[in-house]
Structure 1
């Protein structure tokens, strides 16, 4: 598999940035910059007196918090699915006359 990188030009709060990424990650990187821009613009509109630096820090903190909440939710959902799967397997084993597996 090739590790060839391409240069992607992005703009965040009207500031240009060039980042390197693998070709298959290009669209995701562009979408990430668009999401960041939208979030920062909303934050700027709500807090017009924030300095550029504070705006970026507050935006990064909020987006990181949102990401961690999503990870926590996903972990909880995966745990619930695993528990349900174990109960279903146990019920199927009992229905087939087999002893349940101890895991």
Structure 2
């Protein structure tokens, strides 16, 4: 599979855009555009924000706020909990314990 960028056409708030991305990122780009389009349409529908630029800024702020809240909810006592990190720490601890047991028994690998 080629890593050469491809041109992807997306439509956000009735305007077409061509964006370059890696082929394996196309689906994510399309989904991101769909989410952004939905947020911008919701903001426009309220009638309180006028102008595409202002609607885009409000949508970006809303998305950034959601991301911040998500990151904050994944943090406990200042440390992020990542299941992969926890699993890796457990594996390292097991490997060290096994090495210490071998050292204690006098065996060499």
Deviations along 1:23-80, whole A, 9 cap, x unmatched?
1100110011011111111111112552222111111111111111112222336179
Distance 2:20 2:53 in 1: 24
The alignment's TM-score, normalised by the length of structure 2, stands at: 0.65
Equivalence for 1:31: 31
1:68 aligns with 2:68: yes
Structure 1 portions without partners, runs of 5+: 90-103
Q: Provide the rounded CA distance (Å) in 1 between the counterparts of 2:24 and 2:72.
A: 27
Root mean square deviation, CA, Å = 2.7
SS of aligned partner of 1:7: strand
Structure 1 stretches of at least 4 aligned residues deviating more than 6 Å after TM superposition: none
